[in-house]
Chains A and B, each alone.
Chain A
Amino acid sequence: MSNLTVPAPSAEKKESKIGAIWRAISVPVLAVVTGLIVGAIVILVSGENPISAYGALFTGSFGSPAAYVEGFSIWFSSGQTGALVRAFYPLTESLVIATPYIFAGLAVAVGFRCGLFNIGAEGQFFIGALCSAFVGYSLRGLPMIVHLPLAILAGALGGALWGAIPGYLKAKFGAHEVVNTIMMNWIAFRLSDWLLKGPMKASGFRPVTPNIAASAELPRFFPDPIRFNLGFFLALLAAYLLYWFLFKTTLGFEIRSVGANPDAAKYAGMNIIRNFVLVMVISGALAGLAGAAQVLGVDHWVGQGFSAGYGFDAIALALLGHSHPAGVVLAALLFGFLRGGATNMQSIARIPIDIISIIQGMVIIFIAAPAIIRGLYRLRGAKDDDEAVLTRGWGK
């Protein structure tokens, strides 16, 4: 991932490439390690054994070596794949969990690049999922080549709309996006409560949408129960496209300029208002795609609390990945493995899954205060030359 370094080829740089990469990732890596240590302390205090807990976390996220050996040997000897599929299940499940994280992390990251703090990924996620689900179940008889792109597009548009409103209010009135995106979250939750109880409710007792048509499902590659699907590759594609857009196009240059110094951007003839709205639309669309990927690829229906926690997780991802698409992908994989393993940890070691949130909160703090990490591990104080600006008070 050489993209993590400065994108310019620099002849005068004496530092080796490995050194440069280490400089870029040392703080995030150590922040995660320290977060895990804090988590271990919490587990210890709550009266459990952190080593066995993290052992369960590991096998839950990557699968157990013994299961792999058994799966392969059965497959070689008898050609039966059942055990092999079960062995691969945890690993693929982690990637399945990572998929919406990639989209959502990119959503917050693109906001940071423009100096906007989108805390509303959660609401945009939910609205995107509902829109995708609606297109997925209400249209019947379409061929997949039409239906699936339509359902994905609906998710992106729904999220984009939900992001565009605070973006417009920020651009037009200077209303702070932090509070407005939070308000949009709560409006999204109430709206979805109503939709799931009424207009979008499937027949039956539970407040959930009907299942989407098979023609709107993201294709899966392996036999059940493996849910790994096309969504993961779409997420990687989105990350690459966003990287290209931000760093290789004039529009991305504008967005980064507005984020780094809005006054200079205005001086250079850039339209700040247009960029604010554009970025919130892109950000919302990416968050909406996260919802679309989850509903079209994994769940196939939407219920209450569908998006719970994704918004704040996405912030952690963007911070952890330094608002760089490649970094966000790595961070999302990490979170995918953590969350994937946490379920196993809960059932085997009886550690509530919420331990992951505690670890995430700590990781955010360590990332935002690199001085703490540098102090703890006696790292040389590299100068912070990150161009992404986070927030500026309550606006004008």
Chain B
Amino acid sequence: MTFTTLRTTRLSRLAVLAAVSTVALAACSSTSASTAADSTTVTDPWVKTVDEGMTAAFGVITNTSGEDITIVSATTDAAPTVELHETAMGDDGAMSMSPIDGGFVVPAGGSLTLEPGSFHIMLMGVTEPIRAGDDVNVTLTFSDDSTLDVTATAKDFTGANEDYDGGDTMDGMDMGHDSTSPSADSMNMEGDS
């Protein structure tokens, strides 16, 4: 009998908890719908150090919701211009970096890894040096206009042969694997120099 009583009590408590949760969810969805930003976490965010010009930010973006989410843009106080880039193989077989159409899509319950040689957030027109160990604040904006603030650690990095800083002109710029065919149009960075 005691056992049954306990079970009943537990069940009632669960029922109450469930009711509370439902109310909370209902309140949430009725007033302010759960946003894409609410469902997103960014782990291990970092940015490559640079004195001036161009650099990139990386990290692992995880979507905990049941729907795909889309990051449409990003901003930072460390650079006036920020673009979402992908590294893809062009028709000529060379790898090149270019703005991604439609932004970064993070699949439902999945993640998207931004890393050198792949997807990255491009920072352009940096004027104040980003030094090793600096915290760089990056704000991600989603397709539902929600935003997420991320603090990225600046690290010296020489990997993947990526040199985002082409100096004063686009000529001769080594854009990662694209050194054989540096197509300035793919970078869309005329405003940087």
Tell me if chain B binds chain A: no
